[in-house]
Structure 1
Amino acid sequence: MSAPRTLPWPLVALFTAGYLAPYLLPTTVGRLAGGLPLSATQAGAIGSALLLSSATAGFLLASRVDRIGPRTLARTGLALAVLGYGGAALTGSVPAVVAGAIIGGFGSGTVTAVAASGIAAQQDPHRVTTLGLLGVSGLAGALYLTIPHLGPGHGLPLAALALTALAVWPLTGRLSGRGAPARTAKAYGRLPHLRAGLLLAAAMPCWSLAQNSLWGVSGRIGLDQAHLTEVTVGAVFAVALGAGLVGVVGAGALGPRLGRALPIGAGTALIAGCIALSASATDLRAFAAGEISWNLLYPVVLSYVIGLAASLDPRGRWAVLVGSASSLGTAAGPLTGSVLAAGTGFPVMGKLLGAGLLLIAVPMTAVALRAGRRPLQVMPVVEVPVETPAVPVQRDYDTASPNSYASTSAM
């Protein structure tokens, strides 16, 4: 009798803690500009430095999670997040805030690398990714409703990041503390499906750049162009993230029924329209429509792209590399959005970003179509980095078929 399947909740929690920093980007950047002697562009640059540090961690650790051990890396990343974000929250010195943001960002990227590597080794990575997106969307939505009522200052969103990392720490006890044996590392030494993986990794920075250029200045669009209060903008973001929860649940229910190409290609095209609408908003109705529609679609497409990357390598290296490539675009988003908005205005910025998304949807859809046609391949067993009392069961992983994991699904 086979062992019962259990959900890897430590991986879900790590996913939530790692992705929370990008989700809180608008309020983090906005409060840095409002609470410290910084211009909007300078605050955006700090947000970019945080996310660039996160991406750097992903690139450095993509092939080292198994070797070092998931538990060790996860605890290291969480400790860096607590120290970095916590220190930045407690000081008013701009150099100290910058240093803390960079240290905390590296911690977030380390945690995300562990989560992505572990999720890719699951029998159903899309399901676990969906749960992680549900967790981070729900938590971010609650914070957007809460933070405006706790007072001014730059420290509250940074403190929330530090406390989340601290809360996740106890769950790391269930992660494997062992590095992969040498023969396992050798067996997986060459990245499979190199051309498809590289094309997807090259497209993701542009995809994320467009998304996060808007997200990084969305707070300013609501406050300055739509003339809303911070409480109203926070409420819109909370509702938008709630819509994202609905979208993720819908993506999980649909699973592989629509394949990968349609959700990624058509979803990206629809997101382009939402970005143009949100960036041109001058009142609550238009701003809410654009932000809610975009947040409904974004995690859906992201979940399918993550699942696509995970299907290219069950060891999780493409999932980590594609996620880190996405983080490069995410990192450049706040600064790019600030510069474009300052030079052209929000509406023109939205049109430029939307046009870029339409172009980048083409190669991403091509990778999804090719992956869907790939014949069945059976891969060696991969050790799941979550320790459970159940007897381990040998699994065959299909890295090609859209049905290789019970459902298929982004940085």
Structure 2
Amino acid sequence: MFAPRTTPWPLVALFTAGYLAPYLLPTTVGRLDSDLPLSATQAGAVGSALLLSSAAAGFVLASRVERIGARTLARLGLALALLGYGGAALSTAIPAVVAGAIVGGFGSGTATTVAATLIAGQRDPHRASTAGLLTVSALAGAVYLTVPHLGPGHGLPLAAIALTALAVWPLTGRLPVGTPVAPARHDKARLPHARSGLLLAAAMVCWSLAQNSLWGVSGRIGLEQAHLGEATVGVVFAVALGAGLTGVLAAGALGARLGRAIPIGGGTVLIAVCIALSASATDLGSFAAGEIAWNTLYPVVLSYLIGLAASLDPRGRWAVLVGSASSLGTAAGPLTGSVLSAQAGFPEIGAPEQPVVEIPVETSAVPAQRAYDKAGSEVF
């Protein structure tokens, strides 16, 4: 397959194609709100439907990558992403946009499932996952810098995701076709470390919900509360994602030297502070500081979580299932954030007594990682 000490770039590209939609969530939801006859809550619901569809793909396909074949599933996912996001980008009919977002979300989830499964089987899954985070952060940053200068319209960020899927398609030829697994043998291969996996999955739902409830409305915070222009908000997001590259590089350099308890637990607490700062921002300085610090820390913690999930099962099933559980929290984020911001205002979303309080649950997953001597990458 891939040389053990080289970066598996086809997997990195597939990871990027699957993860780009969540990274572009603020501009996608914001433009649905401004370009189509949708309320902020309705636009958030569309974003949630997209991510929920992506999570469903992970739950459905987690144990089927080997039987169906990585190449086949990857191409199916990319095709669905191209057709779904592309169709939504070209249409102004709300039912078509919603349907396209759901189809595209399932495609993104399928691509992520294949990438997660194969990355978990790598000799160094942390290397592959950090490379994927670097690539998707850089691409999303470029989109945030470019889209505001291309004009209004909800279709631009959706088109960017669709074109990424198209660009990655040729690289799927290097993915394994898969070898059929005998049904009896396959069914007896139970998931190892069930308690740790379930605990990590439950924690990830809370972790993702807490963060994405604000991430999904970050664009609106910049526009409405901090009184910034779309181009300025785009620059802040691009710089923030660029800072995230630094965080990923730092995580890759540190590796397992600090264990996982400190990066995951300590990083999550610091993220909570950043969320509160961003939610209460009223000017460029506070908004940029919160977003940049937040996006610097987020991929660091995420890279360790991905590696933790990948190390639970070399066949990658926990990496996919935990990632899909995370996507459930992510999926509820845009709608939750939109509803809370409409009812209580942006600062209350980032207040410590709001969903962020569930962060300690995340740290409770840390002892499990030590018990099983996990090696890490990232939780999808």
With the length of structure 1 as denominator, give the TM-score of the two structures.
0.89
Q: Which 5+ residue runs of structure 2 have no aligned equivalent?
A: none
* Residue correspondence of structure 1 range 332-371 to structure 2 within 5 A: 332-352=332-352, 355-361=354-360, 363-371=361-369
Contact 2:18/2:111 (8 A) holds in 1: yes
Give the aligned residue type for 1:296.
T
Q: What is the Cα deviation at residue 187 of structure 1?
A: 8.2
For 2:147 and 2:347, the matched residues in 1 are separated by 28
Contact 1:301/1:410 (8 A) holds in 2: no
For 2:5 and 2:349, the matched residues in 1 are separated by 47
Q: What is the Cα deviation at residue 180 of structure 1?
A: 4.0
Contact 1:222/1:228 (8 A) holds in 2: yes
Q: What is the Cα deviation at residue 357 of structure 1?
A: 3.0
Tell me which residue corresponds to 1:293: 293
The residue matched to 1:257 in structure 2 has which SS?
Answer: coil
Give the aligned residue type for 2:279.
A
For 1:38 and 1:133, the matched residues in 2 are separated by 32
Contact 2:263/2:304 (8 A) holds in 1: yes
The residue matched to 1:123 in structure 2 has which SS?
Answer: coil
For 2:209 and 2:198, the matched residues in 1 are separated by 18
| CA 1:409–1:332: 2 relative to 1, 3 Å | closer
Tell me which residue corresponds to 1:154: 154
Contact 2:350/2:356 (8 A) holds in 1: no
* Residue correspondence of structure 1 range 1-40 to structure 2 within 5 A: 5-40=5-40
Contact 1:16/1:133 (8 A) holds in 2: yes
Contact 1:268/1:301 (8 A) holds in 2: yes
Tell me which residue corresponds to 2:373: 401
The residue matched to 2:53 in structure 1 has which SS?
Answer: helix
Contact 1:67/1:185 (8 A) holds in 2: no
For 1:184 and 1:364, the matched residues in 2 are separated by 36
The residue matched to 2:257 in structure 1 has which SS?
Answer: helix
| CA 1:331–1:4: 2 relative to 1, 3 Å | closer
| Deviation readout 1:132-188 (Å, 9 max, x if unpaired) | 000000000000000000011010000000000000000000011123432895387
Q: How many residues align?
A: 378
| Deviation readout 1:325-372 (Å, 9 max, x if unpaired) | 0000111100000101111111111105x65334333x3323322322
For 2:11 and 2:294, the matched residues in 1 are separated by 26
Tell me which residue corresponds to 2:379: 410
For 1:253 and 1:76, the matched residues in 2 are separated by 35
The residue matched to 1:259 in structure 2 has which SS?
Answer: coil
Contact 1:269/1:357 (8 A) holds in 2: no
Give the aligned residue type for 1:289.
A
* Residue correspondence of structure 1 range 6-405 to structure 2 within 5 A: 6-182=6-182, 186=186, 189-352=189-352, 355-361=354-360, 363-372=361-370, 374=371, 400-402=372-374, 405=375
Structure label with greater radius of gyration: 1
| CA 1:232–1:11: 2 relative to 1, 3 Å | same
Q: CA RMSD for the aligned pairs?
A: 1.6
Contact 2:147/2:156 (8 A) holds in 1: yes
**Identity among equivalent pairs (%):** 75
Give the aligned residue type for 1:173.
G
For 2:177 and 2:54, the matched residues in 1 are separated by 23
Contact 2:209/2:355 (8 A) holds in 1: no
Give the aligned residue type for 1:95.
P
For 1:109 and 1:4, the matched residues in 2 are separated by 26
| Deviation readout 1:70-123 (Å, 9 max, x if unpaired) | 000000000000000000000110000000000000000000000000000001
